[in-house]
Structure 1
Amino acid sequence: MTRTMEQTAPRTAPPSRLGGLWRRWRGLGIAAAVLAAFAALSAVRAFTGQNPLTDSGTVQATLAFAVPIAMAGLGGLWAERAGIVNIGLEGMMVFGTWFGAYAAWVTGDPWLGLAAGVLGGVFGGLIHALATVTFGVDHIVSGVAINILAVGAMRYLSILFFQEAPGGGASQSPQLPGFPRISLPFVADVLGPLQQQRIFLVSDLAGLVIGLTTGMSVITLLAILLVPASYLILWKTPFGLRLRSCGENPDAAESLGVPVYRYKYLAVLVSGGLAGLGGVFLAMVASNIYQEGQTNGRGYIGLAAMIFGNWRPGGLAMGAGLFGYTDALQVRGATAAVHALLLLIAIALVAAAVVQWLRGRRTAAVVALALAVVLGVWFAFTDTLPRELVTYSPHIATLLVMALATQRLRAPAAVGRQWRPRGGS
């Protein structure tokens, strides 16, 4: 009898093997979802004739808008994985824009401007770490204070240093030197004609490749590489495991000998440096001048991208790309292309309704399908969108994504917690 039961009992794979299979299938599922989304976008482009949806210019503009959002979000990821909420990312980006612009203007060297901008963001991170880690100030209060301080202090410094400079003013710097740009040879020449033929999926892929390999700033390439680098550091090294343990259970981390204060400080300093890098990008890559209000809420949108990505670098990058894409369309003046996105969103909602129905969530499926019908009718009976709606489409996309993503989120367990060592020091 015992032998029969052993023979008929289901064999389970070792946990490590199951984990590996789960990660492999999960990665394939994400890749399939991304490919399906791109194919749907290509189909909408072919159906509506709105070529700006996938041309190389839109891809390049998307990168320009996504990079500062991604850097702010990556900064928030580092801080919150260590248990520190960093609402002050907006102010740290402001520090990065001003200090980067000032150093580049004084020295004429963009690389010194990059170093100064990153250090400016680190300075903002140091203030936040002192307030939250050492003195136990509420994380939100400290972050808001940094945002207010950064705007006022940089206005004062602009009046002090830029107002009398040729081409400068109380709210802007003179012209700044730029960073070199790189391109892969012959790519645009070979794929350019293919992009112009407007073949379904093929031309769209050509536009994507041209946009990613032509005229890319070296700072853009650096920012892209920082996303997988952060994943490798935080998830594949003992250092990253210790840092993340400070955001999950600092008491347990302390009991195992992890210097929790040191890791929290380091995480917030890195967070500020990444936000400062995003500020340098705005002042010296996206434009060639510092201007007051240049960040325009991108620190907050970066936090939204981080939450959308469930506190992981890959999801964060996709969120930043989504927000950057909607921003790129409206800035390029492609109002008809933004109108065509109504059809794309309707398709996405139909797919979501099918998934929810198969999972047994009937109410959610019906609501998603109803919204898809409304957007489909809106698209069918209109030719354009109100200008105000197009202008604020990135912020609307942020709100929609946050509303749809809240059900699957899992923040670090101890994020925002005021922590003190058990000894009380």
Structure 2
Amino acid sequence: MSVATTAQAPAAPARKKRRSPAMWLLIVAAVIAVISLVRIVTGTHELDSPGSLTAAITATCPILLAALGGLWAERAGVVNIGLEGQMILGTWGAAYFTYWYDPYTGIIGAIALGAVGGLIHAIATVSFGVNHIVSGVAINLIGLGLASFLAEAFFADLNSEHGRGGPRQLTGLAKPDTITIPGFSDWMADLAAKHWFFISDVASLLAALSTNLSVVTILVFVLLIATVWILWHTSFGLRLRSCGENPHAAESLGINVYRYKYAAVIASGAFAGLGGGFLALVSSSGYSEGQTNGRGYIGLAAMIFGNWRPGGILLGSGMFGYTDSLRLRDASTVHALLLLVAIALAVYAVVQWRQGARTTAMVVAGGAALFLLWFALTDEVPRDFTSMTPYVLTLLVLAFASQRLRMPKADGLVYRKGSVG
């Protein structure tokens, strides 16, 4: 007598449940509440004052643009570490065209110069198959040298009501328009000055978003939304992302992989160029040598931290921009930031423990304890260390985030039409 058994198909892997908008709002409210609590406990009201948040938004935008540029390129399978050089080209283009025309022409000039840098990178990597890292390093060197040469050639003798020139700079340029919501911005500023728990913190954010907000800042967040829509909700975006996941399969479906890679890398350079233009015309009032200060690399780190997703990129860029702006304000805010980092690491440790990553959880918890001890045993953070804050944070974030990253499968690989993948 035989017993018949029915083979069961293996269970499909469970899909990660997405958080609802209500859950995200709850998370944001919890973050604001924690910041508010730290502000009150430490008495450091500059931690999230309207001025601090305005400075943080201004510092975030160039990093966010560089990160978006990296996202476009790497979603198409091209690593673009030349973002720094493309940003540098954008700073020069913004200054030159603003001097001779107006700040809006300057913004277009910054985008165009960055796009040229992207085009060079695309020709090297897509058409000639040059190693992406080698090409990116070359773009950074070319951008730095070319901008320095052009500044000496065109800015050395300029001196008029439009700006003051020098061998390595052009300052005093006109800025793009800003927007203030009359009445509402003053009301929010008054609420923020009361230093109430949670309410004043929300008011500070609203005051920063409604007072002297540059139109270029608004453009940056419009481009963020446009990136989400184009890459994840259009057929163009689907084809572009398929080139970064499996270009040979995309080719078999009739997609011109070269064309999409070129479009993505040129767009990547344009984003980085706009980031450079933002530095020259919004963050400051002109071009100066070295003003990118590694923001292209930090943007690349923000993209990796964001796991090649726009939402994560916004979070990472905001975190880097916030820490970068705090060091320029009251030094006590950096000391209060130690307590905030300790709380964040403790929460992350709990999350990792619940997910079963016990070793990671214990390491992160140890880091939280060290930051808490640092906060408790000191009254201030040395000025030299505050200037290192964004870069130290970059290393910490990449170290902790590396275990959950998932880059596009064909990212950085050389593609040749008709070859077998």
Q: Same fold (TM over 0.5)?
A: yes
Shift of 1:359: 2.3
Name whichever of 158-167 and 368-377 sits farther off: 368-377
Name whichever of 373-382 and 32-41 sits farther off: 32-41
Which residue identity lines up with residue 352 of structure 2 in the other structure?
Q
> 1:227 touches 1:314 (CA, 8 Å); kept in 2?
no
Could you list the structure 1 runs, at least 4 aligned residues long, displaced by more than 6 angstroms after superposition: none
CA distances 1:161-219 after superposition (whole Å, capped 9, x unpaired): 11111121111014211100001121122222221111111111111110111100000
> 1:105 touches 1:175 (CA, 8 Å); kept in 2?
no
Match of 1:22 among 17, 28, 35: 17
Output the aligned Cα RMSD.
1.8
Name whichever of 237-246 and 158-167 sits farther off: 158-167
| 1:396 and 2:396 are equivalent in the alignment | no
Distance 1:402 1:34, change over 3 A: farther
CA distances 1:22-81 after superposition (whole Å, capped 9, x unpaired): 33x355544433332221111100100101111100111011110000000000000000
Identity %: 51
Match of 1:159 among 132, 147, 152: 152
Match of 1:91 among 73, 85, 92: 85
Q: Distance in 1 between matches of 2:130 and 2:267?
A: 20
Which residue identity lines up with residue 293 of structure 2 in the other structure?
N
Tell me the SS of whatever aligns to 2:169.
Answer: coil
Map of 2:61 onto structure 1 = 67
Gap runs ≥5 in structure 2: 1-10
Map of 1:137 onto structure 2 = 130
Match of 2:240 among 234, 240, 243: 243
Which residue identity lines up with residue 83 of structure 2 in the other structure?
L
Distance 1:174 1:212, change over 3 A: closer
Distance 1:26 1:408, change over 3 A: farther
Which residue identity lines up with residue 376 of structure 1 in the other structure?
L
Match of 1:312 among 303, 306, 309: 309
CA distances 1:300-336 after superposition (whole Å, capped 9, x unpaired): 000001011100111101111000000110012x211
> 1:105 touches 1:174 (CA, 8 Å); kept in 2?
no
| 1:119 and 2:112 are equivalent in the alignment | yes
Which residue identity lines up with residue 254 of structure 2 in the other structure?
G
Distance 1:329 1:41, change over 3 A: same
Match of 1:77 among 71, 74, 78: 71
Shift of 1:238: 0.5
Match of 1:342 among 335, 338, 344: 338
Aligned length: 406
Map of 2:139 onto structure 1 = 146
* TM-score, scaled relative to structure 1: 0.92
| 1:217 and 2:211 are equivalent in the alignment | no
Q: Distance in 1 between matches of 2:125 and 2:353?
A: 45
> 2:157 touches 2:165 (CA, 8 Å); kept in 1?
yes
Matches within 5 A, 1:262-273: 262-273=259-270
Q: Distance in 2 between matches of 1:317 and 1:50?
A: 25
Q: Distance in 2 between matches of 1:50 and 1:423?
A: 60
Match of 2:52 among 53, 58, 61: 58
Q: Distance in 1 between matches of 2:362 and 2:380?
A: 27
Tell me the SS of whatever aligns to 1:290.
Answer: strand
Q: Distance in 1 between matches of 2:267 and 2:278?
A: 17
Q: Distance in 2 between matches of 1:287 and 1:274?
A: 19
Higher helix share: 1
Tell me the SS of whatever aligns to 2:364.
Answer: helix
Q: Distance in 2 between matches of 1:174 and 1:346?
A: 40
Map of 2:5 onto structure 1 = none
Matches within 5 A, 1:166-315: 166=159, 167-315=164-312
Which residue identity lines up with residue 92 of structure 1 in the other structure?
Q
CA distances 1:364-389 after superposition (whole Å, capped 9, x unpaired): 22222222222212111110011111
Map of 1:46 onto structure 2 = 40
> 1:234 touches 1:240 (CA, 8 Å); kept in 2?
yes
Gap runs ≥5 in structure 1: 1-11
Map of 1:8 onto structure 2 = none
Q: Distance in 2 between matches of 1:260 and 1:183?
A: 45
> 1:84 touches 1:247 (CA, 8 Å); kept in 2?
yes
Q: Distance in 2 between matches of 1:41 and 1:65?
A: 19
Name whichever of 318-327 and 361-370 sits farther off: 361-370
Tell me the SS of whatever aligns to 2:339.
Answer: helix
Name whichever of 360-369 and 94-103 sits farther off: 360-369
Shift of 1:344: 1.1
